[in-house]
Amino acid sequence: MTFKLSTFSAALLLGTASLSASADETCASPYMAKITGQEDFVYIWTLGAEGVGDEQDKLVTVDVNPKSKQYGKVIGSLSVGGRNEAHHSDFTDDRKFLWAGGLDTNKIFIFDVATDPAKPKLSKTITDFVAKSGGVVGPHSLYALPGRMIITGLSNNKDHGGRTAIVEYSNAGDYIATYWLPTDSNLEGAIKSGKYADGYNYDVRVLPRKNLMLTSSFTGWSNYMMDFGKMLADPEAMKRFGNTVVQWDLHSRQPKKVFDVPGAPLEIRCAWAEDHNYCFTSTALTSKIWLIHQDDKGEWQAKDVADIGEPAKIPLPVDISISSDDKTLWVNTFMDGMTRRFDISDPFHLKQVFEQKIGAQVNMVSSSWDGKRLYYTSSLLANWDKKGADNEQFFKAYSWDGSKLTEQFSIDFNKEKLGRAHQMRFGAYALYGKAPK
């Protein structure tokens, strides 16, 4: 086992130089194959909604190539059976398979996107995630390493709270290991740098050349499956949110240091340039952007560097997207439906330079590698989405010319009876040596 781990670590190090900017979506794993031109498809992991269509979670495929006769149209919808609280998805490092998780049922659906990129096929469903992982609940971020998928859990099967772990699988879908987050009672060998070591988890990102892996923190099953209004009115529930970011040794999966980042830090986005040793995250409850950076002594530190909107109004920052040139950070806020552009040229002194309302609610944002196209979806969680007329469910495509966003098309997921549009991933024929049909 020692030899295998050492060999794997060496492989990671050898791949660092050539893979420092290999992704299409600017927030994807650096180990992933890259789309060098126009993306052909966006795959949207969609929550089934009661009374809407077949009511099942589904992978929806939209044609986004302007040269296509089907541009702006839904060209495929693959239902997976039941409602699982569909949330995040991502590709294996070779981009042949798309893994998609359900936060409630703990199922992981693996889609073949290589055989026919326009028509993904469900190739495997993992149903024993909780048992194999030793009690981890809520598979959230699915993140590619060479030959591996790293999966962050949000909860556990003992108390459905926030104590949880990272789980590692092979690309073939075989369980490998579980790595529990540090807590006050068991720091797992990490250093506690502030007040908190809560053991919560949410997202994961890596900087291979720095042997760095970072995880953020959110809340457990008992909160994310609760009605949003009911949760906000429950003082005890509002105490059950994470306040930490954890630094890990990427190769050994050993937690090294726990940072205080109060207010539920969600998505992590890392800079791309080889001399930019930093990542960003945003906090849902305190509406701040935090910088996780390496100081002059080579130590990693955490610092809040900007407010998002008016924090006192709790706009609820959700998804963020970094540009490939490390100059822009797009930040979405769910409650006011806004997207905001921050100039991050100086990572310690961010400036908001643009904002625009996308809808009554907005969650995810994905940027093309060249920064000219931005895509937005609407759903946060089934029980957290807005009610009535404000429960807009959409997929929207925009062009960005450096000064303004211009809508290219919009698909109403309620009208099309598809459900709640959540998370997006890009697809392209060229990745697999195929031509458009």
Q: Tell me what percent of the residues of the chain surpass a pLDDT of 90.
A: 91
Structure tokens at 208: 């291979």
Helix then strand count (H, E) for the chain reads 5, 29
The pLDDT assigned to 341 comes to: 98
Structure tokens, 375: 């895509």
Query: Band of the pLDDT at 318, cuts 50, 70, 90?
Result: very high
pLDDT range class, residue 19, cuts 50, 70, 90: very low
**90-113 burial, b if ≥16 CB within 10 A, otherwise e?**
bbbbbbbbbbbbbbbbbbbbbbbb
pLDDT band, residue 1 (cuts 50/70/90) = very low
Statement: residue 42 has pLDDT above 70: yes
Confidence of residue 33 (pLDDT cuts 50, 70, 90): confident
Condensed to tens digits (0 to 9), the pLDDT of residues 89-134 reads 999 999 999 999 999 999 999 999 999 999 999 999 999 999 999 9
Does 113 or 2 have the greater pLDDT score?
Answer: 113
130-135 — which CB contacts under 8 Å span 24+ positions?
130/106, 130/157, 132/167, 132/175, 133/165, 133/167, 133/175, 133/178, 134/165, 134/178
Looking up tokens 């809407």 gives 52
Using CA atoms, how far apart are residues 244 and 252, in angstroms rounded to an integer? 21
Return the C-alpha torsion angle 342, 347, 349, 352, nearest 10. Answer: 0
**CA–centroid distance for 131 within its chain:** 24
Rounded to the nearest integer, the mean pLDDT of the chain is 94
Q: What is the residue extent of each domain of the chain?
A: 41-432
The predicted model scores a pTM of 0.94
Judge: domain 41-432, CATH 2.130.10.10.
yes
CB 118 within 8 A of CB 414: no
The single residue listed with the structure tokens 């209004």 is: 229
CB-based contact 372:398 (threshold 8 Å): no
- Direct distance between the N- and C-terminal alpha carbons of the chain, in angstroms, rounded to an integer: 46
